[in-house]
Structure 1
Amino acid sequence: PRLIMLDEPSLGLSPKFVTLIFDKLVEMKRAGFTLMVVEQNATRALALADRGYVLELGRNRLEGPGPGLLADPEVKRLYLGG
């Protein structure tokens, strides 16, 4: 498959395994796979994302390039404790 859909791939995992999972996702992205990831770990997910969508109460609150969202003060306030 060229599209991989993942729901909370880091849920319940130790930090070591979270790193392994996201390292593998980076490899898959570089290999040309399209990844659709739903993830509460906003820092890791947005760093990986070409495009991200930030939901609040089930509604799309913000969208844009992953690194741009990661730097957005509103995203930091909502999800990263900034």
Structure 2
Amino acid sequence: MFETLGELRRQGVTMLLVEQNALRALRLADRAYVMELGRIVMRGTGTELARDESVARTYLGVT
């Protein structure tokens, strides 16, 4: 699935992705949002959020 999404991204297709595999989604995303209880609590580029210590610890299983 992520290969297909990557190809669509390269073609310039806009998409909204809700995904449990946070790291793979962040690697694909131009922009990303972290939600808790239905509210946006963080936003940034996929790269920014993947590098954020609190996101890594809470959602990516990095200690």
Q: Percent identity?
A: 53
1:53 is displaced (CA, Å) by: 0.2
In structure 2, the residue corresponding to 1:34 is in which secondary structure?
coil
Cα distance in 2, alignment partners of residues 73 and 35 from structure 1: 26
Matching residue of 1:67? 47
Which TM-score applies when normalising by structure 1? 0.72
Aligned pairs for 1:1-82 (under 5 A) are 21-82=1-62
Matched AA of 2:47: P
Cα distance in 1, alignment partners of residues 3 and 17 from structure 2: 14
Which TM-score applies when normalising by structure 2? 0.91
In structure 2, the residue corresponding to 1:35 is in which secondary structure?
coil
Matching residue of 1:15? none
Unaligned ranges ≥5, structure 1: 1-20
Aligned residues: 62
1:32 is displaced (CA, Å) by: 1.2
Cα distance in 1, alignment partners of residues 36 and 59 from structure 2: 10
Report runs of 4+ in structure 1 exceeding 6 Å deviation.
none
Matched AA of 2:32: G
1:79 is displaced (CA, Å) by: 0.5
